[in-house]
Amino acid sequence: MKAFPSRFPGRFGGLLGLAPAIAIATLLTGCSDPAVERVPTYPVSGTLTHQGRPATGAFVTLHPTTPLANAPTPRGSVAPDGTLRVSTYTANDGAPAGDYVMTVEWYKPTNQGGELIPGPNVIPRKFASPKTSQLRVSVVERENVIPAIRL
């Protein structure tokens, strides 16, 4: 004996439970993005000094000896304390394993009339091109520390 008989017979009740599920499914579809395939990278750090002083702001590029697929060229800027950390995809994530030729440029700000302006590259030109630079770096599958570079 039912005190309050439903207007919907029992077989509809099961369907009703599905309504929130349908709502959630509608919201979730179409939001996924295919992840970009990334090559695994390994931390690379070191120090770079020019004439005994930290080359703050110097720009270092690791040119791969064999082209990297799906990876931009690993690069980094020298921090105020002279340390260098290499980034490929995200900040300071290092570089994919392999052999590299390192190039260094430092557009050192120069003082003109009491004001700093962007200056010319003060590092010898042979270090600016991967064809003439003799700085070699091998990145292996662990934490890499480049021996101190003194230019």
Partner 1 sequence: MRTQTSLMFLGSTTVNCAKKPNMSKPTGFTLVELLVTIAIIGVLVSLLLPAVQAAREAARRAQCVNGLRQIALAVHNHHDARHVVPVSARTVGLTTQPRIAAMTQLLPYFEEGNLRDRFDLSLNWGHLNNRVVVNTPIAVLNCPSDPEAADRLDGLPELNPFVAEIGAATDYSPTVWVDKRLVSAGLVDRTNSVEGAATDEPGIMEYNNPKASFKLVTDGLSKTILFAESSGRPFLYRQGQKIDTELAVARVNGGGWCRPASDVIVSGFSVDGVVETGPCAINCANGSDIVAAGYPHPYYVTYGTGAPYAFHPGVVNHAFGDGSVRSLSDSLEIREYARLVTRAGGEVAASE
- Report helix, strand or coil for 31: coil
By beta-carbon proximity to partner 1, the closer residue of 73 and 83 is 73
Q: Report how far residue 106's alpha carbon sits from residue 102's, in angstroms, rounded to the nearest whole number.
A: 13
DSSP state of 122: -
Q: Which residues bind partner 1 (CB under 8 A)?
A: 1, 4, 6-8, 13, 16, 19-20, 22-23, 26-27, 56-57, 59, 61, 63, 72-73, 75-77, 80, 87, 89-93, 103, 105, 107, 109, 112-118, 121, 125, 128-129
CB of 55 to partner 1, least distance (A): 9
Q: Report how far residue 58's alpha carbon sits from residue 122's, in angstroms, rounded to the nearest whole number.
A: 9
By beta-carbon proximity to partner 1, the closer residue of 16 and 69 is 16
By beta-carbon proximity to partner 1, the closer residue of 59 and 149 is 59
Output the CA angle 77-67-38, nearest 5 degrees. 70
CB of 150 to partner 1, least distance (A): 19
CB of 106 to partner 1, least distance (A): 9
- The rounded Cα 60 to chain-centroid distance in angstroms is 14
By beta-carbon proximity to partner 1, the closer residue of 52 and 111 is 111
Evaluate whether 60 touches 76 at the Cβ level (below 8 Å).
yes
Q: Report how far residue 44's alpha carbon sits from residue 146's, in angstroms, rounded to the nearest whole number.
A: 7
